[in-house]
Amino acid sequence: MPESRQWVPLTPIASAGRRLYNEDVHEMAITQSVIEAVAERSGGRPVTRVTLVIGTLSGVVADSVRFCFDLATSGTALEGATLEIVEVRGRARCRDCGDEVELPDFLALCTCGSADLEILAGEELTVASAEVAA
Amino acid sequence: MCATCGCSDSGVVVIDGEAATHEHLHDHPHPHDHPHDHTTHDHDHDHGEVVTLEQQVLARNDLGAARNRGWFEGRGILALNLMSSPGAGKTTLLVRTITDLLTDEDGRGVAVVEGDQETAFDAERVRATGADVVQVNTGSGCHLDAEMLARALQVLDPAVGSLVMIENVGNLVCPALFDLGEAARVVIMSVTEGDDKPLKYPHMFRRADLLVLNKLDLLPHVEFDVDRCTADARRLNPDLEVVAVSATRGDGLDDWYDWLDVRGGRRRPQPVPG
């Protein structure tokens, strides 16, 4: 074994204190990211409404974000804010027949039977806007 | 009626912050239609204001991942993000791989970032091979993110030209969404988990570069259809490469090492002649 390979002591790099809240599901981390993004732009003023756009193919469950939102905003400028989620349904264009079809999941086929689909919508995960109190 | 800002409801001013202050740190598609042109609004109310962000929720993580990616590239390091459910054999494959690499005199140096919610059990196992290792305990966190990795790399300080293996938290869901800045994503799945995993966890398999089917030695004892699993995974991700191995017994490891070789992951980079 080469001598230069040393043991680096165990370091609790990302444990206590890094996050304000637990991240039991990734929706909590997502919600945290939303709060950070909004707080950066609101300048510390109370935020009364946040609008998110979440696609049904994004891997993020809107209901879970709603569940996390009240918990995660507690004690922040976003506390008490209304959360509005615009859900975008999956949509794709068939590369074979050219039709546009709904895409409820990644395995759905075009009505012509083709699996060669270009996803047009449904993967969105964006913070659209925030309403800030005057 | 303005769908984005609701200005006709409550009297708000639209500030299109994107043009003025939003830094475009990365390109992102705008697949949805904007319902109107924000800049044309000029309401004079003082009840509150709507700040338009139109920002990717994961923008911050993606930025951190881009930094990590540049950091790796600048050092000629190949970084792999290893993901699986708990117990699929990530650490066993890792230990076996490191042991084989370190006994190869042309092999790259290997350094490891271990992600788990608690304990340093995995780091201890990797340490026993002689490789440098840092354990990240995420507490209740269910995945590694780019910032955690950046902090781990500060401590790990992997050598130029080495191979960095990042063992993510055992979870087939959340790690799929968080880019770490790796060169490739490897999903490890054991035959004892059931061949329906790709369809149940499509995001993970869609975003992977390689699927390693592990515990091949147990195949005679379980109902697992390798062809079905592979076909399902490729329905989600036609470019997915697949190797089947037994990390304990050694079957198929050559295929895994060949994949690493193609990525330049096994051998030390050779000096350019002349």
Confidence of residue B69 (pLDDT cuts 50, 70, 90): very high
DSSP-derived secondary structure letter, B220:
G
Residue type, B241: E
Q: Is the pLDDT of residue A30 over 60?
A: yes
Whether B4 sits inside 8 A of A29 (CB atoms) is no
Residues in A closer than 8 angstroms to B31, CB to CB, are: 120-121, 123-124
Q: Rounded to whole angstroms, how far apart are CA atoms B5 and B11? A: 10
Is the CB of B126 inside 8 Å of chain A's CB atoms? Answer: no
Whether B140 sits inside 8 A of A38 (CB atoms) is no
Q: Are A106 and B207 in contact (CB under 8 A)?
A: no
| pLDDT tens digits along A37-87 | 999 888 889 999 999 999 999 999 899 899 899 989 999 999 999 999 999
The upper half-sphere exposure of residue B252, i.e. CA atoms within 13 Å in the direction of its Cβ, equals 15
Closest CA to B72 of B207, B184, B183: B183
Whether A5 sits inside 8 A of B131 (CB atoms) is yes
DSSP-derived secondary structure letter, A70:
H
Residue A12 has what pLDDT? 39
Q: Are B100 and B129 in contact (CB under 8 A)?
A: no
Which of A7-11, B104-108, B214-218 is least confident?
A7-11
Q: Which element (helix H / strand E) includes A54?
A: strand A47-55
Whether B141 sits inside 8 A of A7 (CB atoms) is no
- Establish, for the pair of chains A and B, how many residue pairs have beta carbons separated by less than 8 Å: 164
Whether B53 sits inside 8 A of A41 (CB atoms) is yes
Look up tokens 């992102």; give the residue: B28
Q: Is the pLDDT of residue A15 over 70?
A: no
Q: Is the pLDDT of residue B212 over 80?
A: yes
Confidence of residue B265 (pLDDT cuts 50, 70, 90): low
Whether B49 sits inside 8 A of A132 (CB atoms) is yes
Residue of A nearest to B20 (CA): A41
Q: Rounded to whole angstroms, how far apart are CA atoms B3 and B64? A: 32
Q: Is the pLDDT of residue B29 over 60?
A: no
Is the CB of B52 inside 8 Å of chain A's CB atoms? Answer: yes
Confidence of residue B259 (pLDDT cuts 50, 70, 90): very high
Ramachandran quadrant class, B172 (left: phi over 0; alpha: psi -120 to 50; beta: rest): alpha
Of the partner residues A2, A42, A129, the one whose CB lies closest to the CB of residue B4: A129
Assigned token pair, A61: 């469950």
Closest CA to B80 of B135, B27, B149, B127: B149
Bigger pLDDT: A20 or A113? A113
Confidence of residue B108 (pLDDT cuts 50, 70, 90): confident
Q: Rounded to whole angstroms, how far apart are CA atoms B30 and B19? A: 15
Q: What is the DSSP string of B28-89?
A: ----SPPSS-GGG------SEEEEEEEEETTHHHHHHHHHHHHHHHHTT-EEEEEEESTTSS
Residue type, B199: L
To the nearest whole Å, the CA of B241 is away from the closest chain A CA by 18
CA atoms B203, B206, B210, B213: torsion sign = positive
Q: Which residues in A34-50 are b (16+ Cβ under 10 Å) and which e?
A: bbebbbebbeebbbbbb
Residue B270 has what pLDDT? 59
**Mean pLDDT value across chain B:** 82
Whether B141 sits inside 8 A of A23 (CB atoms) is yes
End-to-end CA distance of chain B: 70
Q: Is the pLDDT of residue B258 over 50?
A: yes
Residue of A nearest to B22 (CA): A41
Confidence of residue B196 (pLDDT cuts 50, 70, 90): very high
ipTM, interface predicted TM-score of the complex? 0.72
Grouping H, G, I as helix, E, B as strand and the rest as coil, residue A46 is coil
Is the CB of B150 inside 8 Å of chain A's CB atoms? Answer: no
Confidence of residue B105 (pLDDT cuts 50, 70, 90): confident
CB interface of B with A, residues 155-184, below 8 Å: 155-156, 173-174, 176-178
Whether B51 sits inside 8 A of A52 (CB atoms) is no
Q: Are B52 and B18 in contact (CB under 8 A)?
A: yes
Of the partner residues A12, A42, A60, the one whose CB lies closest to the CB of residue B51: A42
